[in-house]
Amino acid sequence: MNWSWLVTLVCPLMMILMMFGMPGGHGNHRGHGGRTKRKHVEELEQELRLLKAQNEQLRAETQSSTL
């Protein structure tokens, strides 16, 4: 019996199952993932504001110490 047709069918099916079934796969981009990204962006923006404030403070301190 020739089993090559079975291998031909199983390979694409396994790829589909792996892509959509595994964490981080292509099927996980829908749903509440947008909220998580927005939260991550907000956290990064907050951290950026904090770093900018610290940078300005350090600049002011270095300028006052060099005078």
Rounded to whole angstroms, the Cα distance separating 59 from 15 reads 54
Arithmetic mean of pLDDT, 40-65: 92
pLDDT in tens, 17-37: 888 877 765 555 555 556 788
Confidence of residue 14 (pLDDT cuts 50, 70, 90): confident
Q: What pLDDT is recorded for position 38?
A: 84
Place of tokens 């396994």: 14
